Amino acid sequence: MLPKPEYAKFTVVFGFLGTLTILSDISLSSSLIPLIGDRIDDLQWIADHVASLRQLSHRLYFLVAPVAIIGFPLIVRHQPWDWQIVASMIAILLVSAWFSRLSGAYGAVLIVRRDRERWLWAQKASSLGTLALLLLFWALHWLNAFAAILINVSGIILISQIYYFRARHLLGVRGNPSKEKRRAIIHLAVPSIPGAIFYAVQGQISVLLITIFGRIDGVANIGALGRLAQIYTVFTQMNPLLLEPYFAKISKAQLKSSYVVMLAATLGLCGSITGAAALFPRLFLLILGPKYAGLNLELLLVIAAASIGFLAGVLYVVHCSRRFVYWWSGLLTIVLTVILQIIYIWRVDLGTMKAVLTLGLLSSIIGLFVNVLTGIYGFVRGPRELAIMQENVEA
């Protein structure tokens, strides 16, 4: 719908927003479901944890906001955008990140309280609403980079507000934050924080590198191919909705068989999509339009990296639900990936799409490797003990 120079702006804003959103949460909201455990009918218990999480989230946001204000202009300094455009992008990033962080905490309340229908409805309403607005603006010839960005931001805000008001309705009580619950949240999240901070950058590494070292055309191409990789978005949304609650509540005796079934199904899905991209690339590229024809190899690199990343993400969610959360796993991922990137920066020209996408694929393989090791270790050694949580429950 957009010319490549305009689509490059869209790509950079939402690539950086992905980084900023993760930094504004750093796995804190993912601790909510394990902390609540089987006390899903104790509304005050849930509300107190949500209130404590909200306090932590507010503090974290104001620590992270300067990253956008200072870091974003540095990243885009080689792009042909004046300061008014960059300042507008920063303002959009700050507003979007504020509302994005709400979705994690309050969306978890809907999942815990088994209001999956409203959780899915919010996602559908946002997707269909933004699509309708994009088509309307395109038909009226009003569509440009900032119109597309603001329409998508409106979808983010809509989801956050639906989750917020629905969570308040479901709980019906006012939460009382406490130091003990904040400590419990941090205690559970701490082993995942180094990895979360790392993935905040690593998850958008292709866009960041091509923005810093490449040209507008490359930024637009990677952004467009990245939209195709979002074929996994629907399945990713099922992770907190179905996988995490299911694996959190099943017995130890059921775990191995359920784990094998989950792994086989995920491998089958990822293999099918990657195989289709390899055998029928034109069908995928047809969606993007004639401006992106001929990107067969780049398409395969993107889809393969997305498939491996999705598999690693599924394993991560399941491991977290069973408290297979260890310090060494996040640190090992960081060390291996940093070594890879140092070698790449030293030996390879990162101004080309192929080099950037290959780096993304290799990084995804490292993430999968560490998640496999974490699963093996978890089954052998058992879940991480949470003494602080147990003390709170007894109290």
CB atoms within 10 A of CB 8: 30
State the first-to-last Cα distance of the chain, in angstroms, to the nearest integer.
58
pLDDT at 225: 86
User: 168 with 128, same domain?
Assistant: yes
User: 156 with 303, same domain?
Assistant: no
As a whole number of angstroms, the distance between CA 135 and CA 224 comes to 17
Whether 310 is in a domain gets the answer yes
For 160-203, how does the pLDDT look when each residue is reduced to its tens digit (9 = 90+)? 999 999 999 999 999 898 998 888 888 888 877 877 887 787 76
Last residue of a domain, one of 182, 202, 222: 202
As a whole number of angstroms, the distance between CA 148 and CA 150 comes to 6
As a whole number of angstroms, the distance between CA 48 and CA 36 comes to 10
Whether 260 is in a domain gets the answer yes
Distances (CA, A) of 217 to 9, 90, 210, 214: 11, 22, 10, 8
pLDDT at 388: 43
Last residue of a domain, one of 153, 175, 202: 202
Token pair in block for residue 192: 């995942």
Whether 133 is in a domain gets the answer yes
For 18-65, how does the pLDDT look when each residue is reduced to its tens digit (9 = 90+)? 888 888 888 788 788 778 777 888 899 889 989 999 889 888 999 989
User: 110 with 251, same domain?
Assistant: no
Reduce the secondary structure of 289-320 to three states and give it as a string.
CHHHCCCHHHHHHHHHHHHHHHHHHHHHHHHH
pLDDT at 393: 41
Q: What are phi and psi of 24, to 5 degrees?
A: -80, -5
User: 259 with 346, same domain?
Assistant: yes
The pLDDT of residue 385 is above 80: no
Region of poorest pLDDT, from 225-239, 328-342, 361-375: 225-239
CB atoms within 10 A of CB 200: 20
User: 218 with 192, same domain?
Assistant: no
User: 251 with 345, same domain?
Assistant: yes
Give 345 or 147, the one with higher predicted confidence.
Answer: 147
User: 143 with 231, same domain?
Assistant: no
* Model confidence pTM above 0.75: no
Whether 207 is in a domain gets the answer no
Whether 177 is in a domain gets the answer yes
Domain total in the chain: 2
User: 288 with 380, same domain?
Assistant: yes
Whether 31 is in a domain gets the answer yes
As a whole number of angstroms, the distance between CA 74 and CA 319 comes to 36
pLDDT at 384: 65
Range of the domain at 358: 212-395
As a whole number of angstroms, the distance between CA 130 and CA 124 comes to 10
The pLDDT of residue 151 is above 70: yes
pLDDT at 85: 93
pLDDT at 311: 94
The pLDDT of residue 69 is above 90: yes
Q: How confident is the model at residue 90 (pLDDT cuts 50, 70, 90)?
A: very high
Give 341 or 372, the one with higher predicted confidence.
Answer: 372
Region of poorest pLDDT, from 168-172, 202-206, 323-327, 331-335: 202-206
Report the SS3 class of residue 361: helix
As a whole number of angstroms, the distance between CA 216 and CA 351 comes to 11
pLDDT at 149: 93
Please give the average per-residue pLDDT across 328-357, as a whole number: 84
User: 98 with 236, same domain?
Assistant: no
Q: How confident is the model at residue 1 (pLDDT cuts 50, 70, 90)?
A: low
Question: What are the start-end ranges of the H helices in the chain?
Answer: 4-23, 32-36, 43-66, 72-75, 83-112, 116-139, 145-171, 179-189, 193-202, 205-213, 216-229, 233-238, 244-249, 252-279, 281-288, 296-321, 327-347, 353-381, 387-394
As a whole number of angstroms, the distance between CA 188 and CA 320 comes to 10
As a whole number of angstroms, the distance between CA 7 and CA 10 comes to 5
CB atoms within 10 A of CB 376: 11
Whether 270 is in a domain gets the answer yes
User: 42 with 175, same domain?
Assistant: yes
User: 24 with 159, same domain?
Assistant: yes
- Look at the block and give the residue holding tokens 């639906």: 162
Last residue of a domain, one of 202, 233, 257: 202
Token pair in block for residue 302: 């993107």
User: 141 with 218, same domain?
Assistant: no
